[in-house]
């Protein structure tokens, strides 16, 4: 099992062989994995039969790669984790959470209209229908949350996760 990347970007200097951009992707992949622990899907979407979580990744191949490595041999809430590379316009049926990369930011609204929880990485992603948005600060990756968006899709975000969110969108979008 590959060790999780140091979550602090400044640690890149201490992690030889990793560029700053590579480290950022690692961190984002790790975040995606960890979000699973704080999200709660209703039963029809997440059966009690031990079926895996499915994370779709659109427009962020590096993140996809990193995430694949991370979930190898790991689980969340007792379930295995499956990572799918998606293209813009692909069907998201059976996918629990979709990461829409910078490159596919244009399809955010379309993705958001579907069942899966959308995680973006561009400014204003929440306003465009994403439930979670990863943002970069000086040397950190933080995240914003719009719990009501998730809730409309029947997904509850743990308050404990909200407590560490950089911003929580409360008003109606």
Partner 1 sequence: MKFPRFLRRSVSRKITALVVLSTLAALTVSAAGLIYYSASDYRATKLADVRTQAAVVGRAAAPALAFSDPKDAEQDLLTLAERPDVLHAMLYDAEGKLFAFYARAGYTEPVPQRLDEFSLGIHGERLTLATPIIEDGQRLGTLVIDARYGQRARLLAYTLILGGVTLGALLASLLVSSWLQRAVVEPILGVAAAARGVIERRDLSVRARKTTDDEIGILADAMNSMLADLEREMAERLAAEDALRTADRRKDEFLATLAHELRNPLAPIRNALYILRMEGADAAALSEARAIIDRQVLQMVRLVDDLLEVSRITTGKLRLRRERVELRKVASAALEAVEPIIRERGHTLVVTLPPPGLTIEADPTRLSQVFLNLLNNAAKFTPQGGRIEFALEVRNGEIAARVRDDGVGIAPDMIEPIFEMFAQADRSLERTTMGLGVGLSLSRRLMELHGGTIEARSDGANRGAEFVARMPAAGAEMSIHSIETATRLPAAEGNGRPSVLVVDDNEDFAITFARMLRARGYEVRVEHDGLAGLTAAQSSPPDVAFLDIGMPKLNGYELARHLRALPATSHAILIAVTGWGQDEDRARTEQAGFDGHLVKPIDPGALLSLLASLSKTPPTPAA
Q: Which of residues 105-124 bind partner 1 (CB under 8 A)?
A: none
By CB under 8 A, the count of residues binding partner 1 is 24
With CA atoms as reference, report the closest residue to 126 among 136, 134, 115.
134
- Binds partner 1 by CB under 8 A, chosen from 41, 64, 99, 143: 143
Q: Which is nearer to partner 1, 39 or 108 (CB)?
A: 39
Give the CA distances from residue 79 to residues 49, 59, 66, 75, in Å, rounded to whole numbers and listed in that order.
10, 25, 19, 5
Instruction: Return the residue of 74, 152, 156, 167 that touches partner 1, per CB under 8 A.
Output: 74
Residues that bind partner 1 (CB under 8 A): 4, 6-8, 27, 31, 34, 36-38, 74-78, 140-143, 158, 160-161, 163-164
């Amino acid at each position: 099992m590959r060790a999780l990347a140091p979550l602090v970007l400044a640690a890149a200097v201490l992690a030889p062989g990793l560029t700053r951009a590579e480290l950022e992707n690692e961190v984002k992949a790790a975040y995606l994995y960890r979000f699973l622990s704080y999200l709660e899907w209703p039963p029809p979407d997440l059966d009690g039969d031990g079926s895996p979580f499915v994370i779709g990744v659109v427009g962020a191949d590096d993140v996809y790669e990193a995430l694949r490595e991370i979930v190898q041999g790991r689980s969340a809430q007792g379930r295995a984790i499956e990572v799918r590379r998606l293209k813009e316009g692909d069907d998201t049926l059976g996918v629990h959470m979709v990461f829409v990369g910078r490159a596919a930011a244009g399809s955010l609204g379309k993705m958001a209209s579907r069942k899966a929880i959308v995680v973006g990485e561009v400014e204003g992603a929440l306003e465009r229908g994403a439930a979670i948005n990863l943002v970069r600060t000086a040397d950190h990756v933080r995240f914003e949350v719009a719990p009501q968006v998730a809730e409309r899709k029947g997904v509850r975000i743990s308050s404990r996760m909200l407590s560490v969110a950089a911003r929580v969108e409360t008003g109606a979008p």
